[in-house]
Amino acid sequence: MKFFVDSAEIDAIAELNDLGMVDGVTTNPSLILKSGRDILEVTKEICALVDGPVSAEVVALKSDEMITEGRKLAEIAPNVTVKVPLTWDGLKACKVLSGEGKMVNVTLCFSANQALIAAKAGATFISPFIGRLDDINMDGMELIADIREIYDNYGFQTEILAASIRAVNHVSDAAKIGADVITAPPEVIRKLASHPLTDKGLAAFVADWEKTGQSIL
């Protein structure tokens, strides 16, 4: 499974990248706002930092304007993935941009039917939002499983990018189902290494080592 970092914070991305935990990055208008940076400037910096795809989202609502914005974003670096919403206009933009050889991430997916038509429109990635479905008492993982089944049935090459990851169990559940990618905030990725029994065991080892009075150095 590939790990994308859902952030526009350079320091957080760099820390995870140094550990080999970054296969790509996803951003959106909310994350750009949080960063306080210019979208073109910060996207260029992220693209120079990581080798994998970096999603940069259009903000227009009409297909022609999305295409114009997408082309502008794609000029930033070869690893830019143009992010478009799963609307009819977004699908039109996806078809044009993917036809030009650009990577396209179709976002805000909440149904298997949406994922199916995004794949037919040439999406490189489809981003089903797990956490937001869970928020309204629907099963986000059921959607991942449905998309996986449909894509496998027909050999679609669109990669399933599990998004709106809120907790560590979302990561392992998505991995078991067969999502190609997860995108998660840096703090969630860091929590993947945590377990209370690890902490308890380490504390016991440290206490016993101190009792030996020894030093390795």
Neighbours of 137 (CB within 10 A): 6
In the chain, domain spans: 2-212
The CA angle 206-210-211, to the nearest 5 degrees, is 120
Residue 117 amino acid letter? I
> Which of helix, strand or coil describes residue 122?
coil
pLDDT tens-place string over residues 13-62: 999 999 999 999 999 999 999 999 999 999 999 999 999 999 999 999 99
Global pTM reads 0.95
pLDDT tens-place string over residues 128-158: 999 999 999 999 999 999 999 999 999 999 9
Q: Does domain 2-212 have CATH number 2.40.50.140?
A: no
Kindly indicate the confidence band of residue 174, based on its pLDDT and cuts at 50, 70 and 90: very high
CA atoms within 13 Å, Cβ hemisphere of 179? 30
Contact yes or no for 134/165 (Cβ under 8 A): no
Average model confidence (pLDDT) across the chain: 97
Active site residues: 83
